[in-house]
Amino acid sequence: MTSNILIYGYGTMAAAMVDGWLHAGVPADTITAYNPRPKQAAPGVRLVTELPETQFDFVVLGFKPYMLADIAPAMQAVAGQGTAILSVLAGVDLATLRRSFPKAGGVVRFMPNLAVALGKSPNALVAEGLDDHRRDQVTGLAEMLGSAEWLAGEQQFELVTALAGSGPGFVYRFIDALASGAASLGLESAQAQRLAVQMVEGAAALAAASPDAPGELARRVASPGGMTQKGLDVLDKDAALATLVERCLRAARDRGVAMGEEARKQG
Ligand SMILES: NC(=O)C1=CN([C@@H]2O[C@H](COP(=O)(O)OP(=O)(O)OC[C@H]3O[C@@H](n4cnc5c(N)ncnc54)[C@H](O)[C@@H]3O)[C@@H](O)[C@H]2O)C=CC1
Ligand SMILES: O=C(O)[C@@H]1CCC=N1
């Protein structure tokens, strides 16, 4: 793909996406990263602190959602009819993006997680105004970072963001809890952390490779009357883990909805 890409706001998420694209073979000289504060860019990527005057095929919005109303007016010159806006901004809906970039050819909500850097992120997508060619290109850009998950509609986008965008944060807490639990029961803490991380990596790889659902995989680990079942009984009692995780996802989703409302009011 030889399309040119502007990254507008080169922070943690956008830099991880750039790393993923470079790793997948996107030529570095097709990527320009604009950030108001100078910082180190990936090798070969042009980092600028002044906005270029040319239009781009893709413009990735990599700043914080609340900044959209302030920033969008200054961006009109880089987003013309031939431009697809790729927004990773949590909560900001297609209608707000469309109002913010009326001249752009199309707007896309593109929700990744930080595993884009390794090409291992599920990427949720919804779009408006894309022709088939651009849509195929967006699918290709997403697949280079993991997978392209086009949603039928926008209604569940905040829930999908909570699950797949915020999800690594929740999994890291669980890894932490495994490690600190083992440490408080007597294991050396660096070793506990190493074991917890490797165990989760292997378990996730196995789940990804298996045709069976995680529930069935858990059943296979738990020998009847054995150790695993005793541990699962603690997590399952009164649906403790399931209830906690549902509350966690609801809180994250609802925050996304509120952030979207704030952006709508400002825009
Ligand atoms: N961190 C994550 O795991 C995920 C983040 N996101 C989304 O990614 C976006 C960025 O989040 P992070 O990378 O975590 O934050 P960050 O704070 O690391 O990045 C924000 C970047 O915007 C830049 N910036 C500040 N003012 C600017 C301006 N006026 N014009 C252009 N750029 C400006 C900052 O210098 C910084 O480089 C957010 O909208 C968030 O919702 C989405 C999915 C996952
Ligand atoms: O915490 C946030 O708002 C963003 C959305 C998904 C991950 N980070």
| pLDDT of the chain, 267 residues: tens digit per residue | 568 999 999 999 999 999 999 999 999 999 999 999 988 999 999 999 999 989 999 999 999 999 999 999 999 999 999 999 999 999 999 999 999 999 999 999 999 999 999 999 999 999 999 999 999 999 999 999 999 999 999 999 999 999 999 999 999 999 999 999 999 999 999 999 999 999 999 999 999 999 999 999 999 999 999 999 999 999 999 999 999 999 999 999 999 999 999 999 887
167-256 has the same fold as 5-158: no
Q: Which ligand is nearest to the CA of 115?
A: 1
Question: What is the structure's pLDDT at 266?
Answer: 86
What residues does each domain of the chain span? 5-158, 167-256
Question: What is the structure's pLDDT at 38?
Answer: 84
d(CA 22, CA 20): 5
Distances in whole angstroms, Cα of residue 114 to Cα of each of 16, 65, 111, 207, 259: 6, 17, 10, 20, 20
- Candidates 164, 179, 175, 79; CA nearest to 129 is 79
Contacts 24+ apart (CB under 8 A), 25-29: 25/144, 26/1, 26/144, 27/2
Beta strands in 35-145, from DSSP E residues, in sequence order: 46-48, 58-61, 84-87, 106-111, 121-128
Nearest protein CA to atom 1 of ligand 1, as residue: 13
Question: What is the structure's pLDDT at 247?
Answer: 98
Say yes or no: CB of residue 96 within 6 Å of ligand 2.
Answer: no
Say yes or no: CB of residue 89 within 6 Å of ligand 1.
Answer: yes
Query: What six digits make up the tokens of 28?
Result: 């570095």
Question: What is the structure's pLDDT at 2?
Answer: 65
Which ligand 2 atom is the nearest neighbour of the CA of 162?
Answer: 6
Nearest protein CA to atom 8 of ligand 2, as residue: 166
Beta strands in the chain, from DSSP E residues, in sequence order: 5-8, 31-34, 46-48, 58-61, 84-87, 106-111, 121-128, 146-150
Say yes or no: CB of residue 37 within 6 Å of ligand 1.
Answer: yes
Beta strands in 26-167, from DSSP E residues, in sequence order: 31-34, 46-48, 58-61, 84-87, 106-111, 121-128, 146-150
Superfamily of domain 167-256: ProC C-terminal domain-like (1.10.3730.10)
The pick from 32, 88, 118, 259 for probing ligand 1's pocket by mutation, whose C-beta has the most ligand atoms within 8 angstroms, reads 88
Say yes or no: CB of residue 259 within 6 Å of ligand 2.
Answer: no
- Starting at the edge strand that comes first in sequence, how are the strands of the sheet with 146-150 ordered? 46-48, 31-34, 5-8, 58-61, 84-87, 106-111, 121-128, 146-150
Superfamily of domain 5-158: NAD(P)-binding Rossmann-like Domain (3.40.50.720)
Which ligand 2 atom is the nearest neighbour of the CA of 161?
Answer: 6
- Candidates 62, 46, 85; CA nearest to 13 is 62
Question: What is the structure's pLDDT at 13?
Answer: 98
d(CA 15, CA 4): 16
Say yes or no: CB of residue 71 within 6 Å of ligand 1.
Answer: yes
- The per-residue b/e assignment along 47-82, b for 16 or more CB within 10 angstroms, e otherwise, is beeeeeeebbbbbbbbbebeebbeebeebeebbeee
Say yes or no: CB of residue 165 within 6 Å of ligand 2.
Answer: yes
Residue 152 contacts residue 158 (beta carbons within 8 Å)? no
ipTM attached to this prediction: 0.99
Question: Rounded to the nearest whole angstrom, what is the distance from the C-alpha of residue 65 to the centroid of ligand 2?
Answer: 10
Its pTM surpasses 0.90: yes
d(CA 146, CA 117): 9
